[in-house]
Amino acid sequence: MLEKELIIKCKNGDGEAFRYLMLNYKNKLFGYLWRFGKDQFHTEEMFQETLIKVWKGISNYNDKNKFSSWLFTIAHNVAIDYIRKKNLILSVNIDTLKSNPTQNIHDDKFIQKETVNLIIEAVDILSEKQKRVFLLRQHGELSFKEIAKITNEPLNTVLSHMNYAIKKIRKQLEVKYELR
């Protein structure tokens, strides 16, 4: 079923349509929130809150905008509010990720566990704004115009955050490898 049809059904209060709609975004959304929540408990809390806000607000969703953009706007706001409320630090629990097996990258090469840790650490040292832009791009697969809307910043500023984020991560990785 098309996303648009599911959204119309959701607007009519169809809970099952909502389930199918969110199933498509389940992992992207969870992965995004994980970077803020750091562990299963906090991430699930944020995920639940996002679901409730999406379900309650779906009748206000305007079809002219991309659904994923609207969804990640809500998730982004939920994450920011949650972190403020719980006084969480925007860092990633590397230990939980260490236990996860690695998978293929686009070039069909395996990333070693150590590299995974380095990337996570590198993302962790980004400034808050750089991290938000980077994570929205990577997890939400959003255009920079959409990210600019979500973060309420000019497009050039968002692009600049992304460039700095890439440079910082790249540099962090280079430094670590040189030290070895």
Q: Which of 56, 64, 84, 180 binds another protein (CB under 8 A)?
A: 56
From the CB of 25, what's the least distance to another protein, in Å? Answer: 11
Cα separation, 69 vs 27, in Å, equals: 15
- Among 11, 9, 47, 42, smallest CA distance to 28 is for 47
d(CA 180, CA 154): 40
Tokens of 99: 């236990």
The distance in angstroms from the start CA to the end CA of the chain is 51
Which window, 1-9, 16-24, 65-73, 124-132, contacts another protein (CB under 8 A)?
Answer: 16-24
Residue 163 interacting with another protein (CB under 8 A): yes
Residue from 63, 81, 127, 167 in contact with another protein (CB under 8 A): 167
97 contacts another protein (rule: CB under 8 A): yes
Q: How far is the CB of 39 from another protein (least distance, A)?
A: 9
Residue at token pair 């949650």: 82
Q: How far is the CB of 8 from another protein (least distance, A)?
A: 11
Q: Is position 104 an interface residue for another protein (rule: CB under 8 A)?
A: yes
Binding letters toward another protein, positions 134-153, x by CB under 8 A: ----xx---xxx--------
Which one, 3 or 44, has the nearer CB to another protein?
Answer: 44
Residue 15 lies near another protein (rule: CB under 8 A): yes
List of residues contacting another protein (CB under 8 A)? 11-13, 15, 18-19, 22-23, 26-27, 30-31, 34, 40, 43-44, 47-48, 51-52, 55-56, 59-60, 96-97, 100-107, 111, 115-116, 119-120, 123, 138-139, 143-145, 156, 159-160, 162-163, 166-167, 169-170, 173
